[in-house]
Amino acid sequence: MSDNCQCSIIGTGSYMPARVLTNHDLEKLVETSDEWITTRTGIKERRIAAPDETTSDMASEAARRALHTAGIKPEEVDLIIVATVTPDMFFPSTACFVQKKIGATNAVGFDISAACSGFLYALQTARHFLNGGPRKTALVIGAEKLSSLINWTDRNTCVLFGDGAGAAVIRWDDQPDAPGRVISSFMGTDGNLADLLKVPGGGTALPITAENVHLRPNTIHMEGRETFKHAVTRMCQASEKALKEAGLTAQDVKLVIPHQANARIISAIAERLGVPEERTFINLDKYGNTSAATIPVCLDEANRSGRIQRGDILLLVAFGGGFTWASSVIRW
Ligand code: ACO
């Protein structure tokens, strides 16, 4: 999607819960091995939120850190968008809880559900929102407590996911060369493939009842092999589209920040785009797949560690349940 939105990322933050769950810990829960998980996914460990720690708690901490980096007070925030598939509750939205917790008294807020593509969907939504109206500063957050949706007896899925939150402060400005400028974006959806990756129960289609609760319909169900193939194809396509819109090629990209589902997916994308693997950002070994949180957490880690410098071209690209996919090119 090409547009004239004039927005830049002016601050990043992230929060990961303290508890570490290693592959060796999982060996005690299901029939699996550190060797299988490492070679098939690249994941070594993941973070698990405390039982009383909510998605909005993690989102709020990531948001505070992003505001601090940006030098923005909570009252200056006009809009909060939280991308999540693990909201605190059906309603109010998680954004409402974040607004209260960080004291962003002047902000409006709502949630976006686009699974692992959620952060890039939210970024794109915020840009259009800021461009069209009086609101000029947004907090865009990806936050998940996926441990609450995991069937801990299903080895196909329980080894893949983790909890965490990342945030970015987005600001409208009319300086085309402002640092952190989002220069192009692309989004896609294919609802025909919804059954391949879903949490089928707990909504109106399949309410949880005393009769079905033992089947654990409120946990993640995934056709891993099919999802893998679509993830590679769509993330490559999305990358090429956003680069083309920006008038750039893969050779111009200093760092690819891909959704962190599987190291083999990231290698396949890098190879197809012709980007050397050292120009891809990976932290899934530490955190696993945190769905909407992966990209903002990576962006914050890349920013804080000095891995990215002002002027660098970044390519952010994601794929998730829906299926949904999205990309953004940023001049840092
Ligand atoms: N430990 C040991 N063996 C396992 C495990 C495990 N944890 N999990 C599966 N296996 C077994 C399977 O039972 C199967 O055994 P079988 O051949 O006897 O039937 C074998 O390993 C191979 O299983 P596959 O599913 O074919 O393994 P694959 O190499 O495809 O890896 C994986 C599975 C890691 C899930 C991979 O398919 C993948 O990463 N898929 C994409 C995930 C993704 O991108 N998700 C999108 C975003 S998530 C979101 O939106 C919330």
For the chain, the domains span: 7-172, 181-331
Strand partners, 81: 110, 140
Residue range 181-331 in CATH 3.40.50.720: no
Residue 84: left (phi > 0), alpha (psi -120 to 50), or beta? beta
CA distance 152 to 158: 6
Tell me whether the CATH fold assigned to 7-172 matches the one assigned to 181-331. Answer: yes
Q: Which residue has the tokens 């009383």?
A: 52
CB neighbours of residue 118 within 10 Å: 34
pTM: 0.96
Mean pLDDT, residues 274-286:
97
Question: Measuring from atom 8 of ligand 1, which residue has the nearest CA?
Answer: 156
The tens digit of pLDDT for each residue in 82-140 reads: 999 999 999 999 999 999 999 999 999 999 999 999 999 999 999 999 987 888 999 99
- The structural architecture, per CATH, of the domain 7-172 is 3-Layer(aba) Sandwich (3.40)
What is the distance in A from the centroid of ligand 1 to the CA of 233?
18
CA distance 56 to 58: 5
Q: Which of 116, 158, 236, 298 is catalytic?
A: 116
The tens digit of pLDDT for each residue in 163-214 reads: 999 999 999 988 888 999 999 999 999 999 999 999 999 999 999 999 999 9
Report the pocket of ligand 1 as residue ranges, CB < 6 Å.
32, 36-37, 40-41, 115-116, 155-156, 159, 197, 224-225, 227-228, 231, 261-262, 265, 289, 291, 319-321
The pLDDT of residue 2 is above 50: no
**Best of 228, 234, 235, 317 for a ligand 1 pocket test (most atoms within 8 Å of beta carbon):** 228
